[in-house]
Every structure is written in C-alpha cells, then in structure tokens.
C-alpha cells in the first residue's frame, strides 16, 4: 500500500471543492452537532439529575423513568424515532411543519435533539451520582444555616458536585463527538459520512478513512486538554485531604 496525499487536493464531485474541503466541511458539521447537542444535554441532564435527588417522590420517579427510557434504547433507533416516527404520529399540521425543514437542516436539528437527549440521560446519571456522593451532612449544613433547599443546591451541593463529575463528563464529552457520527444514518453529512463518500468516489480507502481517523484523534486530544484545563481551574486547595 502506498499513500497518495495529493488526492486531498483534487477536485471532488462537488463543484469547486477539493476532497480536503469535503472532509473539513464534515468536521464542521461534526463539531457543530456535538457542541450544540452537548449544551442541550448539559441543561436537560443537570435538571433531570437534580430532580432525582430532591425530596419529592413523584419527581424522582419521573426522572428515573426519563433516564431508563433514554439509556435503554440504542442511539440509532432513537434517531429513527425522532426522524421517521415522531412526525407521523403527531397531528398532521405539526408533522408537516417538522418535515418542511429541508436537508441539511431537517436531519441536523433532528440529530441535535436526538443526540442531546440521549446524552442528557447519561449526564443526569452523573449529576445524580455526584450530588449523592457528597455526604448528607453538606445538605444538612446548608439547611442548618437557614438556606432554602434551592439555595443549598445553588451555593453548596451543585458547585461541589460539578467539580466531582468533571472526569466522567470528560469521557461523555469525548463520546458525544464519536456518537455524532450516528447522525449520518439520517442524512447529516458529518465527518465519517464525508470520509465514506470520498472512499466511494476515489477508492482511496486508506487515505479517506485514515484522514477521518486522524481528525477524530486530534479532536479527542483537544477535548482531553480542554477538560484537563477546566479541572485545573476548578481545583480547591486542600480538598484531597478533606475527603473522608
């Protein structure tokens, strides 16, 4: 096997776009999808995770049900549910409105919601575990100085839990980039899809898949560095000693 790197600078079937340009556009979709879905996942996941630690039984049950549903169905099947099933079972007016979004926006928004909610269930699990890992005494201490339950979460429990869940969140953040490739099944032309298209146009499999692989590795390393930076920034002096 011999690699031919010039292939990346040849014109693709897209007018005026080289194969390198094709891959970069794929990367852009991957990054946009992963980051926006991450924001959605963080917001929903934190809300659901917190709900599962509150002293309200029905809210805990609702949160548990949410997590079980989104964790026990494969991501690909969830995307199909959002993309093919949901618009059909909603009232026709809403269904048609959803279907009226043309590619690339229709598939992109669907993937954004699907990937975001799928990941939110996993984040909810981390948030719940993070809050529960704090000794019950911290909650009591917050309440004992007269804070409301809301204030206790806002000033005591969440800031501590957030620091504890940075390592598992790093791994989820990496996962969302990888999982975003599943969106190619509903027509989002992200990085993996572009690599596969380039492969089909050129039969230069090593170059096409190899380039995508290298890009994914660079993304993974970048994410890792970024999260390590956040971990350093949120370091609390003397905390390790404090752990019981």
Binding positions for other proteins, rule: CB under 8 A? 68-69, 71-78, 80-81, 84-85, 88-92, 135, 137-138, 140-148, 151, 155-156, 159-160, 163, 174, 178-182, 184-185, 192, 195-196, 199, 205, 209, 212-213, 216-217, 219-220, 236-242, 244
Q: How far is the CB of 69 from other proteins (least distance, A)?
A: 7
Residue 11: strand pairing partners: 18
Distances in Å between the Cα of 80 and the Cα atoms of 16, 54, 115, 197 are 33, 33, 11, 22
Q: How far is the CB of 93 from other proteins (least distance, A)?
A: 11
Helix (H, G, I), strand (E, B) or coil at 4: coil
Structure tokens at 170: 């790093």
Q: How far is the CB of 16 from other proteins (least distance, A)?
A: 27
Q: How far is the CB of 140 from other proteins (least distance, A)?
A: 5
Q: 110, 83 in Cβ contact below 8 A?
A: yes
Comparing CA positions, the residue from 30, 215, 196 lying closest to residue 111 is 30
Q: With respect to other proteins, which residue has the nearer C-beta, 16 or 146?
A: 146
Q: With respect to other proteins, which residue has the nearer C-beta, 102 or 243?
A: 243
Q: How far is the CB of 112 from other proteins (least distance, A)?
A: 17
Q: With respect to other proteins, which residue has the nearer C-beta, 15 or 241?
A: 241
Widest distance between CA atoms in the chain: 71
Q: With respect to other proteins, which residue has the nearer C-beta, 11 or 137?
A: 137
| CB-based burial, 19-37: b 16+ in 10 Å, e otherwise | bbbbbbbbbebbeebbebb
């Amino acid at each position: 096997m011999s690699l031919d790197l010039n292939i990346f600078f040849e014109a693709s079937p897209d007018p005026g776009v080289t194969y390198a340009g094709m891959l970069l556009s794929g990367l852009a979709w991957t990054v946009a999808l992963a980051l926006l879905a991450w924001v959605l996942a963080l917001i929903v996941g934190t809300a659901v995770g917190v709900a599962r630690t509150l002293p309200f039984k029905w809210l805990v049950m609702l949160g548990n049900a949410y997590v079980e549903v989104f964790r026990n169905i494969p991501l690909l099947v969830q995307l199909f549910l959002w993309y093919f099933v949901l618009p059909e079972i909603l009232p026709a007016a809403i269904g048609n409105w959803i279907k009226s979004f043309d590619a690339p926006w229709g598939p992109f928004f669907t993937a954004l919601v699907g990937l975001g909610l799928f990941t939110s269930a996993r984040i909810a699990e981390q948030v719940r575990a993070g809050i529960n890992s704090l000794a019950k005494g911290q909650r009591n201490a917050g309440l004992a100085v007269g804070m409301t339950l809301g204030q206790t979460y806002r000033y005591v429990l969440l800031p501590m839990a957030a620091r504890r869940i940075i390592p598992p969140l790093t791994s989820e953040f990496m996962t969302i980039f990888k999982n975003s490739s599943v969106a190619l099944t509903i027509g989002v032309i992200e990085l993996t899809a572009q690599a596969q298209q380039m492969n089909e146009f050129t039969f230069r499999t090593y170059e096409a898949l190899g380039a995508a692989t290298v890009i994914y590795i660079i993304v993974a390393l970048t994410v890792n560095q970024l999260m390590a930076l956040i971990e350093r920034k949120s370091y609390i002096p003397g905390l390790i000693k404090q752990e019981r």
